[in-house]
Chains A and B, each alone.
Chain A
Amino acid sequence: QVQLVQSGAEVKKPGASVKVSCKASGYTFTGYYMHWVRQAPGQGLEWMGWINPNSGGTNYAQKFQGRVTMTRDTSISTAYMELSRLRSDDTAVYYCARDRFPVGATTAADYWGQGTLVTVSS
């Protein structure tokens, strides 16, 4: 069965960087785009971008361009999301989510990781 297992909670100081991992299993990792979505406490979902695990190509939301980097390691079927120059308003749960359709980025993400809480505090 498809599973996405994310790394554990992080506490970071303002200005630091955080790297969240998402290990995929149960399907061909390179066959499906991976999205990253975050949710601040008590707030709505926010799309951050996607990565094509096959080519490494990425597409970032304008809000995060210059601060976010999405990468992957196909040898271990793992996607990564790194966010730099952290601020207090980056405190959120970060999710990876697999696109439903092979080889494409759509609005339908059918498998989600369990979420990783990133807390930014001095």
Chain B
Amino acid sequence: SSELTQDPAVSVALGQTVRITCQGDSLRSYYASWYQQKAGQAPVLVIYGKNNRPSGIPDRLSGSSSGNTASLTITGAQAEDEADYYCNSRDSSGNHLVLGGGTKLTVL
């Protein structure tokens, strides 16, 4: 079982805002990174650290954290944002990395 918990599925209307969350005790101490994975492709890093985007990632994707919850927010969701999203942080010991179970985002 994962130490990071994500909702299995979330949907959003085209152009609306959606928040994908990740919960875990270790998030009180460590930031989460976020990955986007489209069908049949390798994951892509979209958010890391407090709220940093690698080059090429649109600024409609943003990250935040509060208490034991990390969030990925997509402001003005586009059809190309439909994908699986995974959070990644450290486990409760801090010694190992752990990934959330993933959230399937559907853009309606």
A residues adjacent to B (C-beta < 8 A): 35, 37, 44-47, 50, 59, 61-62, 95, 97, 100, 105-110, 112-115
Contact = CB atoms under 8 A, between A and B. Distances in A.
Contact of B99 (A45, A50, A59, A115): A45
Nearest to B101: A44
Contacts of A62: 96
Contacts, number: 62
A50 B45 CA distance: 17
Which size bracket describes the interface of B in this complex? 20 to 34
Interface of B: 2, 30-33, 35, 37, 42-45, 48-49, 54, 84, 86, 88-90, 95-102
A109 B45 contact: yes
A61 B44 CA distance: 22
A108 B97 contact: no
